Chain A
Amino acid sequence: MRKTLTALALVMAGAVPALADIVVPNLSYRTGPFAANGIPYADGFADYFTLLNERDGGIGGEKIQVPECETAYNTEKGVECYEATKGTGAVVYNPLSTGITYQLIPKVTADGITLYTPGYGRTSSANGKVFANVFNYPANYWDGASIIIKNMLEQEGDSLEGKKIALIYHNSAYGKEPIATLQALAAKHSFELVEIPVDSPGQEQKSQWLQIRRDKPDYVIMYGWGVMNAVAIQEAVAIQYPMDHFYGIWWSGSENDVVPAGDAANGYKMISFHGTGADYPVYTDLKKYVYDAGKAAGDGSNPGNVLYSRGMYAAMVISEAIRKSQEIAGHAAVTPAEVRDGFEALDLTEARLAELGLPGFAQPIKATCDDHGGPGTAMIFQWDAATKKWNAVSDWLGADTEVIDPLVAADSAAFAAENAITERCN
């Protein structure tokens, strides 16, 4: 065993990447039951930083290093990845896993590094008064649940009274997040909520869909991820559930999820906090500097799809926050603490998005000391199986803050009490 340790020590000594520039680790998963969704996200994330490095020479003259570390959506590997990359001067983490996020929240707070979890993670980290180092703008799980209900209200003429809505969810921290919100909304709009858990990874859902077939809910909301999404959509097709009454949160609405069900998936709805498709001007530059130069991540089949766009969205927000921090600090080689300040001072306007080649791609964000949650808006998209495209079927919708704000306040207060955190920003 000592021999193994010595060998390991030798390997480790050589394994530390050269200290350089700004490090943004990409905690990705290209293996395991969640790989189908992890790969496009990781590709979009990496490609956007490659574009910045190739076209602009990085941000403010500093190259961005994006070392990749495979987590397989597993918390133990996530810890290993965090510890392995932390020492290289990493400024921000985006683990794309709610489980890993829960683990990293106390760690990044102790280490003074930023955790950016767009659309996932711990919802109440939107409260910057308690979560100094965690940012989850532009929208969170609870916003998502509320926006879906809002869209249903619009369809049903502003009343869901007596309706039955089923929530089919990944039985993990991620899937359980919206339950409290939906319960509060059920009380407010007097509909009945049926909770149907699916154990990870979710390849077997016969009994859940049998229950849906028996209960006949008016709407089904899905909080799924990985292989669970595609299976659920196929099962919904099998019981002939009306697809336009089936809604997915943004993690349950990618091409990989609907394509296996074929034409029958037509009409499936999902919500997203950013646009999709390869029609944005930024793709001209991506093609020129990244794809054609042979520097694309992965196999290059993903550009323009929903999760690729989301990976790119996260990379874009991170790069803008780094730019902001350089502006505040007055120098290009920013430290993790300065990047955190950049996140808190981020002011992403529509004009800036257009400048970046992403006009109308997302909503503007203006972060403040106590607001780490952003505008909380999203759009509803509907799948068109014939053209294999997601079409926007609503305008930007906002969440019901009257319901969500007290929930965020209560959950973050509980966290503050457990960890003896005094509120900032007062």
Chain B
Amino acid sequence: MLYREAGDFKTSYASDSQTFPIRFDRWRYWAVVAVAFGVIPFVIDDYWANAVAVPFLIYAIAAIGLNILTGYCGQVSLGTGGFMAVGAYACYKLMTAFPEVSVLIHVLLAGGVTALVGVLFGLPSLRIKGFYLAVATLAAQFFLVWLFNKVPWFYNYSASGQITVPERTILGVAVTGANTPAWAKYLFCLVLLFVLAWVARNLTRGSVGRKWMAIRDMDIAAEIIGVNPLTTKLSAFAVSSFYIGIAGALFFAVYLGAVEVGEAFGIQKSFVVLFMIIIGGLGSIFGSFAGAAFLVLLPVLLKNVLVGQLGWATDLAAHVELMIVGGLIVAFLIYEPHGIAQLWKLAKEKLRLWPFPH
């Protein structure tokens, strides 16, 4: 019913291998893009931007980044929080050192700095695998947080060790600082997410992504058929860290405005992003979005239902919220280990056959 595929023929290789080969999917994709760019910026208010939309967009970027490394290339990383911190502090240092340069360039450069740091910490991945690599990246997490706490140069010698974002504008509209309108925050993050997700999707469909997946599926076999593990693993670390660095820069500059490294980029941040891609679906761009939505929106939704609608005490609601989110994570892992992306895929298969399943 939903999927009418009659007459949807492919007459060229290009049209057959496009991202959304089914016409209905394509339309839905354009509809989502149109709403995201054409409708939401006009109706969004401060609450929706700061509590829901902006964190969702930023976590989606981080989740795509980690998904490239863990989901596509098979290298488990627990250093996401540390790499986000690199992005945030690089962005801060650049913004305060070169105030006349556009903040967009600073955010991209922050991603570049993080990519370099990511490659550095990715080097051990050539020797160690699996859980051992997870522990090595965990070391990166603790080292980076310690570094940004310890060396005052990173926070410009401020009394409290906090970094606070200065106001910066793009085309005369503030995008960082307290005077930023809600729509500007939202659009700035959305544009970056749109471009980054588009690039990620196409990278993973091309030869680069195929190499990553070959390494993930069986590194020895991949090496034998001519995939260079050095460049492949390091390119995955670089691209992944670039995304995570941009997410960290946005997290600091656009979303929170002031951060301290231990609180904002601690180990729990690494776990949250890892949960996102596990729940959303490893090795899936859509899964990164779904996982970010699940872990950002669900707590806010539960809080508003339990406290706002049912009038529960805030502490009781907070405890119950943790239990519900935790329970759902476990239930997901039991009933659909491949995540929301797999659920979505199954639903789509069923809808294509509906109402005449065989």
A122 at the interface (CB under 8 A from B): yes
A76 at the interface (CB under 8 A from B): yes
A-B contacts, CB under 8 A, total: 137
| Residue interface bits B254-286, CB-to-A below 8 A is 1, else 0 | 011111101110100000000000000000000
B159 touches A30 (CB 8 A): no
Chain A residues with CB below 8 A from B308, complex form? 11-12, 14-16
B317 touches A70 (CB 8 A): yes
B161 at the interface (CB under 8 A from A): yes
A110 touches B178 (CB 8 A): yes
A8 at the interface (CB under 8 A from B): yes
Chain A residues with CB below 8 A from B260, complex form? 99, 102, 172-173
Known: A11-B301, A103-B258. A72 touches B178 (CB 8 A): no
State the CA gap A126–B307 with chains docked (Å).
35
Shortest CB–CB separation between residue B27 and chain A, in angstroms?
14
B51 touches A102 (CB 8 A): no
A123 at the interface (CB under 8 A from B): yes
| Residue interface bits A30-51, CB-to-B below 8 A is 1, else 0 | 1100010001000000000000
A68 touches B304 (CB 8 A): no
- Interface size on B, as a range, is 35 or more
Chain B residues with CB below 8 A from A210, complex form? none
* B contact face: mostly helix, strand, loop, or mixed: helix
| Residue interface bits A1-44, CB-to-B below 8 A is 1, else 0 | 11011011001101110000000000010110001000100000
Residues of B140-167 at the interface with A, using a CB-CB cut-off of 8 Å, are: 149, 158-162, 164, 166-167
State the CA gap A99–B262 with chains docked (Å).
11
Chain B residues with CB below 8 A from A176, complex form? 159-161
A173 touches B304 (CB 8 A): no
B315 at the interface (CB under 8 A from A): yes
B160 touches A171 (CB 8 A): no
B52 and chain A: residue at smallest CB distance: A8
B314 touches A30 (CB 8 A): yes
Q: Pick the most buried of A12, A16, A35: most chain B CB atoms within 10 A of its CB.
A: A12
Of the candidates B50, B161, B262, B290, the one whose C-beta lies within 8 Å of that of A79 is B50
State the CA gap A69–B303 with chains docked (Å).
10
A30 touches B318 (CB 8 A): yes
B51 touches A83 (CB 8 A): yes
B257 touches A107 (CB 8 A): yes
B309 at the interface (CB under 8 A from A): yes
- Interface size on A, as a range, is 35 or more
Chain A residues with CB below 8 A from B318, complex form? 30-31, 70, 72
| Residue interface bits A51-70, CB-to-B below 8 A is 1, else 0 | 00000000000000000111
B319 at the interface (CB under 8 A from A): yes
Chain A residues with CB below 8 A from B166, complex form? 418-419
B47 at the interface (CB under 8 A from A): yes
B301 and chain A: residue at smallest CB distance: A8
State the CA gap A5–B290 with chains docked (Å).
12
Chain B residues with CB below 8 A from A83, complex form? 46-47, 50-51
Residues of B106-129 at the interface with A, using a CB-CB cut-off of 8 Å, are: none
B257 touches A172 (CB 8 A): no
Of the candidates A4, A70, A80, A86, the one whose C-beta lies within 8 Å of that of B314 is A70
**A residues at B contact (CB < 8 Å):** 1-2, 4-5, 7-8, 11-12, 14-16, 28, 30-31, 35, 39, 68-70, 72, 74-76, 79-80, 83-84, 86-87, 98-99, 102-103, 105-107, 109-111, 122-124, 171-174, 176-177, 179-180, 197, 199-200, 411, 414, 418-420
Q: List 19 A-B contacts (CB under 8 A).
A: A8-B297, A12-B304, A14-B309, A30-B313, A39-B315, A69-B307, A74-B263, A75-B263, A75-B264, A76-B256, A79-B51, A87-B46, A99-B260, A102-B164, A106-B178, A172-B260, A179-B159, A419-B166, A419-B167
